[in-house]
Homo-oligomer: A and B are copies of this chain.
Amino acid sequence: MAGKIRVTVWNEFRHEKTDKVVADVYPEGIHGQIASFLGAEEDIVTRTATLDEAEHGLTEEVLDETDVLIWWGHMAHGEVKDEIVDRVQKRILNGMGLIVLHSGHFSKIFRRMMGSNCSLKWREAGERERLWVVDPGHPIAAGLGEFFEIPHVEMYGELFDIPKPDATVFISWFQGGEVFRSGVAYHRGKGKVFYFRPGHETFPIYYQAEVQQVLKNAVRWAAPVAGPYTDLSRAPNYKANETFTVSE
């Protein structure tokens, strides 16, 4: 496992326990399905964590061993403890990647990282979505065609109240008349954040090849860089370099 990217897939894991339709689509949970296809890659190793575990499964030890955290949440955002959100934010700013999926737009951690409401429009009509690649040189677009379609989705529409992305990789078209910035990338501190719209608890979206390709690309893009700075949380008092005299 030396040198592999260590991914933790987090899921609130509630829908799958209470809704038979969801359980039928994702018998191992959404986290299980995502961990499964990512873990099949040679350079990736996965683990999972869920809301109802102690510390939501996100102990200091787990985060220390996580290069990229993937986040799925929907009905229980409010149950995530603020101290865990604090801990995850700190870890991102110190280099960990974060990939937020679909309804995770309203999770505490995504709103914390963005500083905005992250609100949007939505509609459940099983309509068609077409994701257009608008940054074809971006590594998250590797191996895709110029667009791909998902046949039946929940619609998310603009205005998506997010900061201006550092890179916009996908813009979606929906049958009913809306558009959406569906793949948006940010640098934050030493870490990276990617939001990816597709996903739904009752549509088999995480079984689709293009969606899996995007997530594999995103994991590789979000993995930490061996950059400078060991701790961004301090504001150090800093001496002038001895070679420079601070005087007129």
A residues lining the B interface (CB < 8 Å): 89, 93, 95, 106, 112-117, 119-123, 125, 127-128, 130, 132-139, 141-147, 155, 157-161, 163-164, 166-168, 171-179, 181, 186-192, 224-229, 232-241, 243-244, 246-248
Chain copies in complex: 4
**A179 CB contact (under 8 Å) in B115, B132, B137:** B132
The answer to whether A137 touches B228, judged by C-beta atoms less than 8 angstroms apart, is: no
In the complex, what residues of B have CB within 8 A of residue A236's CB? 121-122
In the complex, what residues of B have CB within 8 A of residue A175's CB? 240, 244, 246-248
**A163 CB contact (under 8 Å) in B145, B186, B234, B237:** B186
User: Contacts A227-B136, A228-B133 hold; do A176 and B246 have CB atoms under 8 A apart?
Assistant: yes
Residue of B nearest to A111 (CB): B115
**A119 CB contact (under 8 Å) in B121, B179, B225, B233:** B233
Roughly how many angstroms separate A142 CA and B143 CA in the complex, as a whole number?
A: 25
Name 12 extra pairs, CB < 8 A, besides A137-B188, A164-B168, A176-B240: A115-B188, A117-B232, A121-B238, A130-B177, A133-B158, A136-B227, A136-B228, A137-B190, A144-B228, A164-B167, A175-B240, A175-B248
What is the minimal beta-carbon distance from A82 to any residue of chain B, in angstroms?
Answer: 10
The answer to whether B166 touches A164, judged by C-beta atoms less than 8 angstroms apart, is: yes
User: Contacts A135-B164, A187-B135, A238-B157 hold; do A243 and B248 have CB atoms under 8 A apart?
Assistant: yes
**A181 CB contact (under 8 Å) in B134, B224, B228, B244:** B134
What is the minimal beta-carbon distance from A151 to any residue of chain B, in angstroms?
Answer: 8
